[in-house]
Amino acid sequence: MLPTLPFDPSYVLIGGTWRPTADTLPLVNPSDGSALCEIARSSEADVDAAVTAAHSARDGAWCKMSALERGRCLTRLGQLVLEHTDLLTTLETLDVGKPATQARADAIALARYCEFYSGAADKVHGETIPYLDGYTVYTLREPHGVTGHIVPWNYPMQIIGRSVGAALAMGNACVLKPAEDACLTALMFAYLAKEAGFPDGALNVVPGLGSEAGAALARHPGVHHLSFTGSVQTGKTIQMLAAENVVPVTLELGGKSPQIVFEDADIDAALPFLVNAGLQNAGQTCSAASRILIHRRIYDTVAARMADAYRAKIIGPASNDPDIGPLISTKQKTRFETLLKAAHDLPCIAETPMPDDLPPNGAYVQPRLYGPVPSDHPMAQDELFGPVQVLIPFDTEEEAVKIANGTIYGLVAGVWTESGARQMRLAKALKTGQVFINNYGAGGGVELPFGGVGKSGHGREKGFEALYSFSILKTVAARHG
Ligand code: NAD
């Protein structure tokens, strides 16, 4: 059952006021299929009102706040997020079906983003540029104005933190469109932002369908920058809509990320990262390590140990805090199971046991480990967004790099080797936005710029890079003689 909330979850927050929409959508708990509540089905008019409110904030109180004061708002917001970690954890557990420990980690990451960007708000400098005699030239970093944030359901809190947190730090007014499958923590975040003292309209939240509220936000001529995380297909649509208004867009679109295990790797250290990076959040992670490339000399050992780990995992309702919860929805379950049919000709070497008492209407799927898998097989090329990994043997470093770079994606890669020279070579050779050496994900640090190449998208969020993305560089050239 949904805990009591300090706002009506079927409302939108526009210009600091909670208000109903003409229509609503049902929100479902994916752990058992039960109805949680109704949420807003924002229309084009609601989105337009949110953009207008954001403009008012940009032209009014929000615009007048100094970087220091913006930072202090974010400091208070981070503190409030920490104080409400239990509630945010419960909401994400119910809404996303995310096991409680993983949901709690997301809430703490959200607080960390607020802390990081609170401290960074007044530390983004322009520069002076030596120029002709009689001139003084300098640059200013200014906010875009109104930024649109279209967020998916897999890591709502983390993605809101990295994108809205950075945009607010730079003084943008934000319109946030959370996913229709998971929007409760977005609403709670907006409630806390109001409590933290952000002026009305600095952060507006309009839940609703992608094809309605999402598309209305992406094509709105009053939006000056778009940040999108989700599928490649929707990312393309959003880039085309952004092109109509000639506004910049940051796209984070997922991947088919490899971890490469060389024969000299510390297998004990690697093992938890190899498995958990595929199964965390039931595999619904853009940077999931869905391909494990293993040197042929150690292939059997690593495959056997990963298979044991799969068999030892526990599946269950998210509130029981298992290793693996359900997928986000029965729609995603159907999509995943359809894509998984491609594996019919592959050896499945391990499955996680499915308990008999799983709620029948939950969106559970069985985690599966396949190997050896040819690197050009659809299961080694397509993003399934579920708890499945493929093992790919290789013989040489050159071959490993070729396989790792051989998909349409390029989000992250992991390399396990004790050879320093090989570490350096691979860090350069891998065509991804992040390379992890003898780890995978580096604990998700908010400080670390993140984003992809190829069909994984473009632009960077997290770290200071996000502050540059969420601002415009203006050059001022003063001729004074
Ligand atoms: P999606 O891309 O359709 O949805 C993501 C967000 O975009 C949601 O907020 C949605 O409402 C919005 N959206 C959808 N259509 C839109 C449109 N036409 N205009 C504007 N906004 C729109 O993703 P999905 O259907 O929820 O999931 C499908 C697949 O996308 C997944 O299986 C997975 O492969 C991928 N995905 C990737 C990530 C990631 O982190 N990279 C996250 C979620 C989904």
Ligand 1 atom 40: residue of nearest CA: 286
- Cα separations (Å) of 180 from 161, 284, 464? 18, 16, 30
Task: Compute, in angstroms, the gap from residue 295 CA to the centroid of ligand 1.
Answer: 35
Task: Compute, in angstroms, the gap from residue 238 CA to the centroid of ligand 1.
Answer: 11
Q: Which residues of 58-97 are buried (b: 16+ CB within 10 A; e: fewer)?
A: beeebeebebeebbbbbbbbbbbbbebbebbbbbbbbbbb
94: domain CATH number is 3.40.605.10
Task: Compute, in angstroms, the gap from residue 263 CA to the centroid of ligand 1.
Answer: 38
Q: What is the mean pLDDT of residues 259-277?
A: 98
Ligand 1 atom 13: residue of nearest CA: 210
Ligand 1 atom 12: residue of nearest CA: 210
Q: What is the mean pLDDT of residues 137-166?
A: 98
Shared domain for 217 and 112, answered yes or no, is yes
Query: Closest Cα to residue 169, out of 240, 208, 106, 121?
Result: 121
Domain with 195, as residue range(s), is: 11-253+458-475
Task: Give the binding-site residues of ligand 1, using a 6 Å CB cut-off.
Answer: 150-154, 177, 179-180, 210-211, 214-215, 218, 229-231, 234, 237-238, 252-254, 286, 335, 383, 385
Instruction: Confirm whether 5 is domain-assigned.
Output: no
Please give the Cα distance from 287 to 47 (Å, whole number). 30
- Digit-coded pLDDT (tens) for 327-337: 999 999 999 99
Shared domain for 291 and 428, answered yes or no, is yes
Q: Which helix (H) or strand (E) holds 93?
A: helix 85-96
The residues assigned a catalytic role are 252, 286
Give the pLDDT of residue 296: 98
Q: What is the mean pLDDT of residues 400-415?
A: 98
Query: What is the widest separation between alpha-carbon atoms in the chain?
Result: 83
**DSSP letter string, 317-343:** -GGG--SB---S-HHHHHHHHHHHGGG
Shared domain for 177 and 31, answered yes or no, is yes
Classified as helix, coil or strand, 314 is coil
Predicted structure pTM score: 0.97
Q: Is the pLDDT of residue 276 over 90?
A: yes
Q: Structurally, how many domains does the chain consist of?
A: 2
Please give the Cα distance from 69 to 75 (Å, whole number). 10
Task: Compute, in angstroms, the gap from residue 152 CA to the centroid of ligand 1.
Answer: 6
Query: Closest Cα to residue 192, out of 47, 56, 105, 78?
Result: 78
Q: Which ligand 1 atom lies nearest to the CA of residue 235?
A: 2
Ligand 1 atom 44: residue of nearest CA: 230
Q: Which ligand 1 atom lies nearest to the CA of residue 209?
A: 11
Instruction: Confirm whether 450 is domain-assigned.
Output: no
Shared domain for 146 and 220, answered yes or no, is yes
Q: Which residues of 24-46 are buried (b: 16+ CB within 10 A; e: fewer)?
A: bbebbbbbbeeebbbbbbbbeeb
Give the pLDDT of residue 1: 84
Q: From 234, 327, 336, 461, give the residue whose CB has the most ligand 1 atoms within 8 Å, as the site to mutate.
A: 234
Task: Compute, in angstroms, the gap from residue 451 CA to the centroid of ligand 1.
Answer: 16
Shared domain for 155 and 39, answered yes or no, is yes
Q: Is the pLDDT of residue 442 over 90?
A: yes
The amino acid present at 310, given as its one-letter code, is: Y
Shared domain for 226 and 360, answered yes or no, is no
Q: What is the mean pLDDT of residues 290-310?
A: 98
Instruction: Confirm whether 379 is domain-assigned.
Output: yes
Shared domain for 349 and 470, answered yes or no, is no
**Sequence-ordered list of residues with C-beta below 8 angstroms from that of 285, at least 6 positions apart, any chain:** 154, 155, 277
Shared domain for 302 and 346, answered yes or no, is yes
**Sequence-ordered list of residues with C-beta below 8 angstroms from that of 252, at least 6 positions apart, any chain:** 228, 229, 230, 286, 450, 451, 452, 456, 457, 459, 461
Give the pLDDT of residue 215: 97
Q: What is the mean pLDDT of residues 429-434?
A: 98
Task: Compute, in angstroms, the gap from residue 162 CA to the centroid of ligand 1.
Answer: 17
Are the beta carbons of 365 and 386 closer than 8 angstroms? yes
Instruction: Confirm whether 2 is domain-assigned.
Output: no
Shared domain for 128 and 143, answered yes or no, is yes
* Percent share of the chain, pLDDT over 70: 100
Please give the Cα distance from 466 to 463 (Å, whole number). 6
Q: Which ligand 1 atom lies nearest to the CA of residue 155?
A: 40
Shared domain for 158 and 140, answered yes or no, is yes
Residue the block writes with tokens 């390029």: 410
For the chain, the C-alpha Rg in angstroms (whole number) is 23
Task: Compute, in angstroms, the gap from residue 202 CA to the centroid of ligand 1.
Answer: 25
- Digit-coded pLDDT (tens) for 343-395: 999 999 999 999 999 999 999 999 999 999 999 999 999 999 999 999 999 99
Are the beta carbons of 404 and 435 closer than 8 angstroms? no
Q: From 231, 336, 384, 461, give the residue whose CB has the most ligand 1 atoms within 8 Å, as the site to mutate.
A: 231
Ligand 1 atom 7: residue of nearest CA: 210
Average pLDDT of the chain is 97
The dihedral of CA 426, 430, 434, 436: what is its sign? negative
Q: From 95, 98, 150, 177, give the residue whose CB has the most ligand 1 atoms within 8 Å, as the site to mutate.
A: 150
Q: Which helix (H) or strand (E) holds 126?
A: none
Please give the Cα distance from 188 to 470 (Å, whole number). 23
Shared domain for 154 and 287, answered yes or no, is no
- Digit-coded pLDDT (tens) for 170-221: 999 999 999 999 999 999 999 999 999 999 999 999 999 999 999 999 999 9
394: domain CATH number is 3.40.309.10
Give the pLDDT of residue 396: 98
Shared domain for 267 and 152, answered yes or no, is no
Token digits of residue 321? 């805090």
Ligand 1 atom 38: residue of nearest CA: 230
